[in-house]
Amino acid sequence: MYVDEYIGDGFFKQLPLGYHQHFSFGQIFWTHAYYPHEHLELWRPIFDANEPTKTIATQFQITAAGQDAFRRNIPLAAPKLETNEEFVVLRAKKRPVLLVMPEAPPFGVDNRGYRGKVQRRLCLVAQIFGLADVKTGREEFISSFVHRVRKMEFPQLMFLPASPGFLEVDSLLRLDELQSVFTPNLEPTKLALGDGAAKVLRGQLQFLFAGSGPTDYTELRELLLNE
C-alpha cells in the first residue's frame, strides 16, 4: 500500500467560494519559483566611459562570484545597490506550490525597525515538481524511486497524486525547497490538501524539522515501510 492509496479519494479537496481571499495551510497556488543555485553568479555593471563616477549603470554582464563578491568599493545609485549587495543571477519558473505558512496577521502600528518594516507580506511555500512531462506523459523519475516516495521513505519529500484540472500528473512536494513569497505574487487555485493529507503533512514537517513524534505521519510511515 502507498500513501495515496491509504488516504484515498480525500487526498485533495476543493475550497468554497472566497478561497482567493483567505489563504490556508495546504492550499495549492501558482507562482514564479527560483532554482537554488549551486554556483554563484553575479550581474556586474558595465560602466559607460561617459559616467566617470561609476554609480550609474545601464548594462550588466554575468560573472562568476570572486573574492570581491558582496564587497564592492562604490555603491550604485541607479539601480540602487549598496557595497555589500549584489545582483544575483537566478533562473525561475512558474510552477505550482503548496502553502506551508500563511502570511502572519498585522503587527499594528509598531511595524518599523531602524532599517524599515519588520513585518512584510510574506508566506512560506514548498515547490511541486511533476513526476512526468505534462505534454508527453514521459516519466522523469525511475519507478523504483517513485515507489519509495509513495512509501514515505524520505521525510523531505511527499507524493501528490494527479488531480485533473490542477495537477495534471503525479507530483513531488519538496519540503527541502521551501521559499518565501510575497503574498500578492501567489495565484490561488481552489485545490487544497484534504484533512487527512494535511494532518499527515503537518506531522511530516514536525518530524523533518524537529525530529519529534509520534504523529499521524510517523505512524503511517512506519506502517507503509514495514508492510
pTM of the model: 0.89
> What pLDDT shows up at residue 146?
97
pLDDT tens for the chain, 227 residues long, are 999 999 999 999 999 888 888 899 999 999 999 988 889 999 999 988 888 888 999 899 999 999 999 998 889 999 999 999 999 999 999 999 999 999 988 776 666 655 566 778 899 999 999 999 888 889 989 999 999 999 999 999 999 999 998 999 999 999 999 999 999 999 999 999 999 999 999 999 999 999 988 999 999 999 999 98
d(CA 182, CA 135): 30
User: What residue segments make up the domains of the chain, in order of their start?
Assistant: 3-32+94-105+120-225, 38-89
Q: Which cell numbers hold the place of 160?
A: 501528490
Other residues' Cβ atoms within 10 Å of the Cβ of residue 190: 16
Contact assessment for residue 190 and residue 15, using Cβ atoms and an 8 Å cutoff: yes
Helix (H) or strand (E) holding 61, with range, is: strand 59-64
- What's the DSSP call for residue 58? S
- What's the DSSP call for residue 218? H
3-32+94-105+120-225 is classed CATH 2.30.30.110: yes
> What pLDDT shows up at residue 190?
94
Question: Nearest 5°: phi and psi at 201?
Answer: -65, -40
